[in-house]
Structure 1
């Protein structure tokens, strides 16, 4: 079985082991081109860089650079939750790293915590939650759609997370969370069309002073959720997490310099449109290299609003 979160003898998350038959690795071509591959002896991976044999990967450490028959190369990365979020199959809209990291921190999730999540969706957040609560905590995640729940369960089993995540089919908006969780939960996360319907049930499950988070794409959903939260929660806050990415690259500039005999350096400034290759014979050129930074054109904008509330102790 592939291991997304392998545990060593001390029950700590670790990838300090060789790649084995059946492991899932992230084949990294570049930051915007990667895929999850199950290592299977006798199988091959073919891409624009050539043909890669799975058998050549076995025994190498995660992070290895491997070469194809054409001397192209890729990197074999450990399938961390961050990378899994970038390569998983999208059965629903997913949460990405900025929202995930923010909410795990604000929910105060640490190893040993018990977390309720609804709905499961594609399992992006569930995977990160599992690592946050490992090795002794647990994530109970619910989805009303049986096929989505089944697919997520298969992914968790494939990635070695079954001991940390339990997937159930349940309509949390209509039925609420199971009574067995009442008073035993450290954090609740809701990703539902009508999260306010699940707030009363969530409040019964949370321990005193624990935190709930609701993710909603529309501000109207946030407003109605906050109205319901005020009945049992305090310190209610809403955040929109926006991240701006930058592209860093080298830029080469041609600089004209005079000849040793003092000849002019070239035409007047208004005519300096010719390249170094078409410079006059009285000119020499040398290349200057500068590091350029500019915002990426593909930066992701609004994903949704994160609303938090802390259960009031009366």
Structure 2
């Protein structure tokens, strides 16, 4: 768990207090971000939950309503925040995010530049990766989106790690004062090739750039621009297939070598009280796994490149 400071909301190893942001968990596909307020309540199908009952309890606690229903109070980790944040734009999900952080080599102390901010899904994970001594500078040309993202980072306790700027990176490039400071740069732009020259100036020697694009034509044009000042150019498509694991019933029969599982029920005879034969089914409870019916497919292509070291 990430701990920045005892006064910061991002410190998840302490107990919940008023003003904290909590993720209320009903089930894996039903979660909600709630700010803990004095006198407030949360109402759902399980009953009424008083915020005052949450105060003083550690994150991860199971709390009960007036009807006996329950929810879990979870810490707003980047993974959970990605699932509950307001979608102001199309966001990156966990599979892409984890891949980006690994290949950008984002570690504590790094400086990362990002454009555009969007809903702040990736920004949140980047901030945790570079904490406690690194920093993320993120830019969006849309002022209202930037303001909303800034408010979200304040809620999740990331404001000391993230600086949000309003700037058209495609048209103006990154600010000159950041030149040579960045360990890595992430671009999520419709025309990333326009920002690549400026991104190269921001990177330290051997720095890494990543460009996210939904269309292969964007990838091709970006790669053409990258060839002049970058090396080790690679493009990936991350596809995630999720499985649901549930308890199910499977009929089984006793064979000579033990228990075998089949697709048809196994019947056995027993003698009824009247003396007639009755067929019975034998079944057992097992864990069954199958692909989710609403698995997320293609989101986009990730292109990585490393700045050439010029002698």
CA-CA distance at 1:178 after TM superposition? 0.6
Tell me which protein shows more strand as a share of its residues.
Answer: 2
Q: Which residue of 2 aligns with 1:98?
A: 95
Who is 2:12 aligned against?
15
Q: Which residue of 2 aligns with 1:127?
A: 124
User: 2:257 is matched with which residue?
Assistant: none
1:85 Cα deviation from its structure 2 partner: 0.3
Aligned residue-pair number = 291
Out of 279, 283, 287, which is 1:287 matched to? 283
Structure 1 counterpart of 2:298? 302
Q: Alpha-carbon deviation of 1:120?
A: 0.4
The reply to whether residue 32 of structure 1 matches residue 29 of structure 2 is yes
Tell me the CA shift for residue 290 of structure 1: 2.4
1:285 Cα deviation from its structure 2 partner: 3.4
**Per-residue displacement from partner, 1:75-134 (whole Å, max 9, x unpaired)?**
000100000000000000000000000000000000000000000000111111110110
Q: Equivalent of 1:258, from 269, 284, 290? A: 269
Aligned-residue RMSD, C-alpha: 1.7
Shift of 1:281: 5.5
Structure 1 regions of 5+ residues with no counterpart?
262-279
2:250 and 2:309 map into 1 onto residues whose CA distance is: 65
Is 1:199 the equivalent of 2:196?
yes
Q: 2:220 aligns with which of 200, 205, 223?
A: 223
Cα distance, 1:247 vs structure 2: 1.1
Compute the displacement of 1:256 (Å). Answer: 2.5
State the alpha-carbon separation in 1 of the partners of residues 158 and 277 from structure 2: 69
User: Structure 1 residue 213: deviation in Å?
Assistant: 0.1
Does structure 2 retain, via aligned residues, the 8 Å contact 1:5–1:131? yes
Provide the C-alpha distance between the structure 1 equivalents of 2:107 and 2:58, rounded to a whole number of angstroms: 28
Residue 184 of structure 2, aligned match among 184, 187, 198: 187
Q: Contact conserved, 1:5 with 1:160, CA < 8 A, in 2? A: no
For 2:180 and 2:173, the matched residues in 1 are separated by 14
Matched residue SS, 2:217: helix
Whether contact under 8 Å (1:94, 1:124) holds in the other structure is yes
Q: State the TM-score, normalizing by the size of structure 1.
A: 0.89
- After TM superposition, give the deviation of residue 288 of structure 1 in Å: 1.4
1:123-158 per-residue CA deviation (whole Å, 9 max, x = no partner) reads: 111111110110010000000001001111111112
Alpha-carbon contact 2:210-2:305 (below 8 Å) kept: yes
Partners in 2 of 1:158 and 1:16 — Cα distance?
Answer: 17
CA displacement 1:166-220 (0-9 Å, x = unmatched): 0010000000001111111100000000000000000011011110000000000
Distance (whole Å) between structure 1 residues aligned to residue 248 and residue 171 of structure 2: 58
Query: What is the alpha-carbon distance in structure 1 between the residues aligned to residue 192 and residue 29 of structure 2?
Result: 33
SS state of the match for residue 297, structure 1? coil
The CA deviation at 1:260 is 5.7
1:238–1:307: 8 Å Cα contact kept in structure 2?
yes
Shift of 1:5: 5.8
In the TM superposition, what is the alpha-carbon distance from 1:7 to its structure 2 partner?
A: 2.0
Segments of 4+ moved more than 3 angstroms: none
